Structures are given as structure tokens and as C-alpha cells.
Amino acid sequence: MAKNILIAYFSHGGENLVDDQIVDLGDEGNTKVAARLLREALASRGLKSNLFEIEPLIPYDRSYEGTLARSRQEYQDGAAPLINDGPNGYDAYQVIFLGYPNWWGTVPAPILSFLRDHDLHGKTIIPFVTHGGQRFLYSLETIQKEAPNATIQEGFAIAAPYMSAAKAVIEDWLKENADKLD
């Protein structure tokens, strides 16, 4: 039986640093693009999934500098800001793909909020990351610490300057890891 799959992600959009240049990514940040491509890649293998965007109640600034300042403070404080309510039918999901940009070497604060707000017991969590060169860095350890009763399986990492390769990276990962979704 195919598992029930949720793709939960946080993505900033707006201004970001790509190859040392500030670029406006528009409303679809890199991780949001990756989440959508993942859903399409799963569908092409006959696997149904639902997307859920994790949104802090107070959104991050559109500017790179503003987001950097707030996220640095949150990182230093270990803050978990208030976020939106979880997805409908959460309990029925067995596999949660958890997508985020690498911020300060680990997960953005809203990901901590998501992990703390939800019962993760017995779930399989498959983190995927978009990043500026540091891939997952410390984020997998952080997730494991927050979710001791979940099984964490490393997903795929996509470097921000190479988003054009995202579809291929995701499809390759699925080819190698299809067993994790059975």
C-alpha cells in the first residue's frame, strides 16, 4: 500500500542572496519551487501527496537584510515563532517530506515551530533543503533532536544557483529511494 504523503515546507521568497548577489525570487522561493516539483515527480510515479506551506503569523521581511537580521536573532534565541494551523487530516500522514532553506546552517525557526506543534511519533520525516552551498549542514541533527520518536531519512539537497537542475535532482533521488515510500 502506498503511504500517505505530506509535503510540508517553509520558503521565504522575496529577496535572497544567490551567488553573492541580491536577487528577488518573487513570490515563489526556491524551496517552494522544489516542493511543487517534488509533488509533480511523485505524481508521475503514481504517488499522491499534499502540499502544506508553513507560514509564520508574522511574515519575514521581503528584504534580504531584514530577513537576515530577524533570523539571526531567532537563531541565537532558539526561537520558535507562532505559525499557521497544521494541515487537515494530519494524523493520517505516514511520510512527511519537510522542506526548508538552510538558514544559519540549520532549519529556519518556523520549522522548529512545525516540529513542536505536531505529534511526530511513528512518522517518517524526509528533510529536503535548498541552500547556498552548505547543503543540510546541522539541520538533520536539529530535526532528529526535535523529533526523537520519528524516523528521519535524508532527502535531497538543491543548491540555490542550480535550481534549473532541481527536477533532475528530485527524480534521481526518487529513483534511488522509492522503497522509503512503500
Ligand X SMILES: Cc1cc2nc3c(=O)[nH]c(=O)nc-3n(C[C@H](O)[C@H](O)[C@H](O)COP(=O)(O)O)c2cc1C
Interface residue list for ligand X (CB under 6 A): 11-13, 16, 25, 29-32, 67-68, 71, 101-105, 130-134, 160
CB of 89 to ligand X, least distance (A): 25
Residue number with the shortest CB distance to ligand X?
A: 29
CB of 68 to ligand X, least distance (A): 5
Q: Which is nearer to ligand X, 52 or 181 (CB)?
A: 52
Query: 83 Cβ partners below 8 Å, 6+ apart?
Result: 54, 55, 56, 57, 110, 113, 114, 117
CB of 1 to ligand X, least distance (A): 32
Which residues, listed in sequence order, are joined to residue 49 by a DSSP beta bridge? 5
CB of 13 to ligand X, least distance (A): 6
48 within 8 A of 78, measured Cβ to Cβ? no
Q: Which is nearer to ligand X, 86 or 161 (CB)?
A: 161
Taking residue 64's Cβ as centre, other Cβ atoms within 10 Å add up to 16
- DSSP per residue, 59-97: PPPSSHHHHHHHHHHHHHHT----B----TTGGG-SEEE
Q: Which is nearer to ligand X, 93 or 128 (CB)?
A: 128
Q: Which is nearer to ligand X, 96 or 181 (CB)?
A: 96
Distance (Å, rounded) from C-alpha 75 to C-alpha 22?
A: 22
